[in-house]
Amino acid sequence: MSSFYVSDPIHPRVLDELHTMGQVHLGYGPTATPYTAVQDSVEAVMLRAERFTADKIQASSRLKIIARHGVGTDNVDIQAATDAGVWVTVTPGSNARSVAEHVFALTLALARRIPAATAGTAAGQWAAIKPALTGFELQGRTLGLLGFGRIASLTAGIARGFGMPVLVSDPYVAPDTVEQLGARLVPFDDLIAQCDVLSLHAPLTTATKHIIDAAALARMRPGTVLINTARGGLVDEAAVLAGLESGHLGGAALDVLDGEATDMQDPLPHSPELAARLGSLDNLIVTPHIAGQTSQSLLAAGTQALACIQQALAGQDPEHAVNTVSPTA
C-alpha cells in the first residue's frame, strides 16, 4: 500500500482520491502527524506551505515525488531532491485566475477605503467617518504590472474591463506579446513613475530582491497604490511603511510577506516592523497568502498535483517537473 503525506488542507475531492490510493498522513488539523514521524514510509508528498529541507528529503528512503500544490518552489530544496532521485513538480496556471481576481479585490478595497469604512462603522461612526472616506474610481487610472506571466496577463485583461490603461515591465517578454493584450511594454523606471496602481508579478531572484525599495517608492507618483501577490521579498517592508506613514504612498496591500522566506506558515513574527504597524495604518491591508486560494483553484491545483503523483508512482516522468531525475537514481 502506498503512503502519502499532505502538508496543508487541499480540496476534499482530491483528498478522497488519495485515500483510495493508499494511506494518507495529514500534516494539519487536530490529529496532525509530523512528517518526521512517517518519513520512512511516505512515497509521495503533496506540499503547500511546509518547508521541505535537505534533511527531510535525505531521511525519506521511499520518497519518489514532492508534488507542489502551486507554482512556487521556494520551500523545497530542489538540489537535494534531485540528488536523492526525488521528482519535484508544480501546478502551473492552476491558481492564475484566483490571484488575478485577488489583485482587484485588494485594489478596490484600498481605492474605496473599505477597511477604514468597516472599522468606523463598527465603532458607531456611520455619519462621522463618511467625509474621510472619499475614494477613487479605477477607470482612467494606469495599472503597472511588474512581470508578465500567466497571472499578470489575466490581470491585464480584467483591468481593461475597468477602463484602466496598462503598462508592463518584464525583460523576458516581447512587445507584441504585451500589445496583443492591449498593454504597453516599458522600462522599469518608466513603469513605476507612470502608474497609479502597481501590481507585482515577478519571481524572487537576487536581481528582484527588494526591487520596491525607498528609491523606487520615491520615483512613484504621490498616492500610488502598491499590490503584492507575488513574493514578499520583492518589497522592502520598512520602506513601504515609511511611504504609507508619510502619505507619499496612497496604499499598500500585501498578500505575501518578506518573513515567508524564514517561515511560510507564520511569517508575521519574522516581519516585526510590519506586524507592529498592522492595524494602525488604515491604508495598509495584509492578507495571509490567500490570493491563490479559492475552491476552484484548490481543485485545479490538487488535481494536477495528484496526476503528477500517479505518474511518478507508475515509474513515468511526471508532467510539470522542475527537475530531472536519473532512471538509476
Instruction: Please pick, among 11, 201, 260, 320, the residue that the annotation labels catalytic.
Output: 260
Instruction: Please pick, among 113, 141, 231, 320, the residue that the annotation labels catalytic.
Output: 231
Q: How far is it, in rounded angstroms, from Cα 169 to Cα 166?
A: 10
**Catalytic residue status for 137:** no
**Catalytic residue status for 260:** yes
Q: How far is it, in rounded angstroms, from Cα 143 to Cα 148?
A: 13
Q: Which residues pair with 6 in a beta bridge?
A: 26, 46
Q: How far is it, in rounded angstroms, from Cα 19 to Cα 1?
A: 11
**Catalytic residue status for 50:** no
Cβ neighbours of residue 35 closer than 8 Å, sequence gap 6 or more? 5, 7, 25, 27, 42, 45, 50, 56
Residues tagged active-site: 231, 260, 289
